[in-house]
Amino acid sequence: MELICPAGTPVSFREAVDAGADAVYCGFRDETNARNFPGLNFDLSELREAIGYARKHKVKTFVALNTFMTAGKEDLWYRRADEAKQAGADALIVADFGLMAHVAEHHPTLRLHVSVQASASNPDALAYLVENFGAARVVLPRTLTIQDIAKIARQVTCELEVFVFGGLCVMAEGRCSLSSYATGKSPNMNGVCSPASHVRYHQSGRDMVSNLGGFTINRFTEGEPTGYPTLCKGRFEIGDSKTYAFEDPVSLDVMDQLDHLRDAGVKALKVEGRQRGKAYISEVVSTLRATLNAAPEARGALMARLRTLSEGQQTTHGAYEKRWR
């Protein structure tokens, strides 16, 4: 199975390549990219240089154009797809049907990977994407069990890619409006979920309070790990309890399920984290590469090295086990 690793900057891109990635995914410095944050991403010259570096090391480059096109501004997405192709990208990761149609028509030899933002999660949806746009691979949402994935794999002709480590999202990906409600900025249109410009922290007595867009998202007691405020990982008062109603502020880690994922028909393992720094990328990618190469009984000790890099210093199997409240 391929190890697909994130890069939010040229420096992180090189770290991912050097640490053992089979492919690195990245995006342009604009709203065509679902990680459209200040200080991240690539201009065209940086992308060309990164692709050249990857090719020297026999590593592939996937360019994420994984937001939905704004009506009247489609030319920006079309131009970025054309530029990525000319720069030598090995595949485009796309969410919007209109952009998929453009890629299929104008770049039929370029591999099309369907983004998780397209939220394709059943055999009929995947078959539609293959038949109409020639999709070579689909990235599945983080809402399926391994049994679900195996059932899909038996009925489709495209490759399947799944998330195995990093930030966890169990929303209907590509359809989430929680951040938009709080900030007015859409993850799916503007490429920003819980942008840092709308995040505030303040001390309240001995507690640390986190806010997003003027809304209180969480309150942390002294000594408790303070997570980044996203609505889906906020703590809510429900009846007599104060709990994480949607999602806990922890990281996904299903690397102990590698054999089951392989048996289910998974082709590629994806790591979340384009907003992370180069030290994180280096440690995570090198550890995952070592884990993939290790015997099953040695994987646990290797993955334990990443606990301190995980959100809240905790990890979960998430929806892969379907243990919903």
Q: What is the mean pLDDT of the chain?
A: 92
Between 110-119, 242-251, 298-307, the lowest mean confidence (pLDDT) is in 242-251
pLDDT in tens, 31-57: 999 999 889 999 999 999 999 999 999
Give dist(CA 163, CA 298) in Å, integer.
21
Question: Picking from 29-38, 151-160, 255-264, 313-322, which range would have the lowest pLDDT averaged per residue?
Answer: 313-322
Give the long-range contacts of residues 55-60, CB within 8 A, separation 24 or more: 55/88, 57/17, 57/18, 59/17, 59/21, 59/22, 59/23, 59/24, 60/22, 60/23, 60/24, 60/90, 60/91
Domain ranges in the chain are 2-170+250-320, 178-244
Q: Which DSSP symbol is given to 241?
A: E
Place of tokens 């060309």: 48
Q: How many CA atoms lie within 13 A of 189 on its CB side?
A: 9
Secondary-structure breakdown of the chain: helix, strand, coil percentages, each rounded to the nearest 5: 40, 20, 40
2-170+250-320 architecture in CATH?
Alpha-Beta Barrel (3.20)
- Structure tokens belonging to residue 284: 């995570």
Specify burial of residue 249 (Cβ count, 10 A radius: 0-12, 13-18, 19+): buried
**CA 167 – CA 137 distance, rounded (Å):** 21
pLDDT class for 130, splitting at 50, 70, 90? very high
In this structure, what token pair is assigned to residue 96? 């919007």
Q: Is the pLDDT of residue 88 over 90?
A: yes
Return the percentage of the chain with pLDDT > 70, whole number: 97
- Side chain identity at 78, as an amino acid letter? Y
pTM, two decimals, is: 0.92
Mean pLDDT across 313-321:
79
Question: Strand, coil or helix: what is 38?
Answer: coil
Residue 28 has a pLDDT of 98
- If you ran DSSP here, which 8-state letter would residue 157 be given? S
CB atoms near residue 164 (< 10 Å):
27
Highest mean pLDDT, choosing among 156-160, 169-173, 308-312: 156-160
**202 phi/psi in degrees, rounded to 5:** -150, 155
Q: Kind of pairing, strands 91-94 and 207-212?
A: unpaired
